[in-house]
């Protein structure tokens, strides 16, 4: 049985396996919450990402943001699979009394694990929201021509991960993330040269200093990039399910938001998903936006997402 722990000002759920998952809470108190939302971060990120408190209070939302295994302060899971990740998420939700059903939000690579939750624990989900989510470019229905079109505008690093990286042994990926990926300012200097124009402009406005750089440093430092290497290993593997399998068991809200100019995750992937499971997915394409520009530091975007996901337009009092 999972138990709650606190150490050095950090909160953890110690799973039945003995591993610890670090988490951060935000928003209204659990007793006052109309909705409880678990947030799954993306590649090179952590539990530290947040949303405006005014928005969370207006919608009665309590957020539980976790460090996924091997990221931030959470323990590594050398045997991690998509199915075991879902078991971790369900165990955390139960330990934190998130109710019979809770909401999920996954950003980028975190979206892949939301897909897995909808496949394996559909009865526990009140609704799912994905921001620029990673998918499986080798889902059975994707033709070689469609895959090539999806990859056409991707940055070279992502082409490697999902292309050549598919045949790269996991131990090489582990060495790469441990010894060659440098968190913090070095990470953002590399991004400045590879991101789409809207994302580069976004970084110029907000800069790599502050919360973004703290989030990335927290993500990569403690476990020396283990979470990233495991993400890459899982993303390029056989996920064990197709979108049609998810549509067959999950019947709740399933919203995908995607920047059209994103060159880390292509809009073509989400359009393909929508075409094969139109009854499952509500797809929102955001013109002239990339992978970061619409989602980060954008309270209006967060409001729009909540309005669509919860089916309720709540007016905010910003004063």
Tell me the pLDDT tens digit for each residue of 209-241.
677 888 888 998 889 999 999 999 999 899 999
Angle at 52 between CA 46 and CA 58, to 5 degrees: 130
| 168 vs 160: CA distance, rounded Å | 10
- Asked whether residue 49 is assigned to any structural domain, the reply reads yes
* Residue 178 scores a pLDDT above 90: no
Given a contact cutoff of 8 angstroms between Cβ atoms, the answer to whether 92 and 66 are in contact is: yes
Q: Average model confidence (pLDDT) for the chain? A: 92
Phi (first) and psi of residue 36, to 5 degrees: -115, 125
Joined tokens for residue 103: 């909401």
- Asked whether residue 86 is assigned to any structural domain, the reply reads yes
Candidates 104, 292, 103, 77; CA nearest to 201 is 292
pLDDT at residue 207, as a whole number: 65
| 209 vs 198: CA distance, rounded Å | 18
Phi (first) and psi of residue 280, to 5 degrees: -90, -45
Given a contact cutoff of 8 angstroms between Cβ atoms, the answer to whether 299 and 55 are in contact is: yes
Q: Which residues pair with 64 in a beta bridge?
A: 25, 38
pLDDT at residue 208, as a whole number: 60
| 28 vs 60: CA distance, rounded Å | 6
Given a contact cutoff of 8 angstroms between Cβ atoms, the answer to whether 232 and 167 are in contact is: no
Which band of pLDDT confidence, cut at 50, 70 and 90, is reported for residue 165?
low
pLDDT, mean of residues 35-49: 95
- Asked whether residue 318 is assigned to any structural domain, the reply reads no
What CATH number does the domain containing 267 carry? Answer: 3.40.50.1820
The residue range of the domain holding 34 is 3-310
* Residue 95 scores a pLDDT above 90: yes
pLDDT at residue 287, as a whole number: 98
Angle at 149 between CA 148 and CA 152, to 5 degrees: 85
| 272 vs 281: CA distance, rounded Å | 11
Residue with the larger pLDDT of the pair 202 and 189: 202
Per DSSP, helices labelled H in the chain are 53-58, 82-95, 110-120, 144-151, 156-162, 170-179, 185-194, 197-206, 211-221, 226-235, 243-249, 267-276, 299-310
User: 273 vs 44, 134, 237, 294, 307, CA distance in Å?
Assistant: 25, 11, 18, 21, 23
Domain count, the chain: 1
pLDDT tens digits, residue range 273-316?
Answer: 999 999 999 999 999 999 999 999 899 999 999 999 999 989 88
For tokens 């928003």, the residue is 27
Given a contact cutoff of 8 angstroms between Cβ atoms, the answer to whether 281 and 151 are in contact is: no
- Asked whether residue 148 is assigned to any structural domain, the reply reads yes
Which band of pLDDT confidence, cut at 50, 70 and 90, is reported for residue 174?
confident
């Amino acid at each position: 049985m999972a138990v709650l722990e606190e150490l050095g000002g950090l909160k953890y759920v110690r799973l039945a396996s003995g591993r610890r998952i670090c988490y951060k809470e935000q928003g209204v108190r659990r007793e006052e919450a109309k909705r409880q939302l678990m947030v799954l971060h993306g590649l090179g990120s952590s539990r530290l990402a947040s949303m405006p408190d005014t928005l969370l209070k207006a919608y009665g939302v309590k957020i539980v943001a976790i460090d996924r295994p091997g990221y931030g302060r959470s323990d590594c899971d050398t045997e991690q699979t998509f199915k075991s990740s879902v078991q971790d998420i369900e165990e955390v939700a139960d330990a934190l009394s998130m109710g019979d059903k809770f909401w999920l939000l996954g950003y980028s690579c975190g979206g892949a694990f939301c897909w897995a939750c909808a496949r394996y624990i559909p009865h526990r989900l009140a609704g799912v929201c994905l921001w620029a989510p990673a998918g499986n470019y080798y889902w059975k229905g994707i033709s070689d021509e469609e895959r090539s079109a999806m990859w056409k505008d991707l940055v070279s690093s992502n082409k490697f991960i999902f292309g050549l990286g598919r045949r790269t042994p996991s131990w090489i990926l582990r060495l790469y993330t441990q010894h060659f990926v440098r968190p913090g300012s070095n990470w953002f200097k590399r991004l400045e040269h590879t991101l789409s124009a809207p994302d580069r402009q976004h970084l110029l406005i907000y800069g790599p200093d502050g919360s973004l750089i703290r989030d990335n440093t927290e993500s990569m430092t403690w476990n020396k990039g283990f979470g990233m290497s495991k993400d890459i290993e899982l993303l390029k593997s056989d996920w064990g399910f197709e979108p049609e399998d998810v549509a067959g068991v999950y019947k709740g809200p399933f919203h995908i938001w995607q920047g059209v100019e994103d060159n880390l995750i292509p809009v073509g992937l989400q359009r393909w998903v929508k075409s094969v499971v139109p009854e499952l997915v509500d797809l929102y394409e955001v013109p002239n936006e990339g992978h970061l520009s619409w989602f980060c530091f954008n309270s209006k975007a967060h409001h729009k997402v909540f309005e669509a996901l919860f089916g309720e337009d709540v007016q905010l009092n910003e004063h």
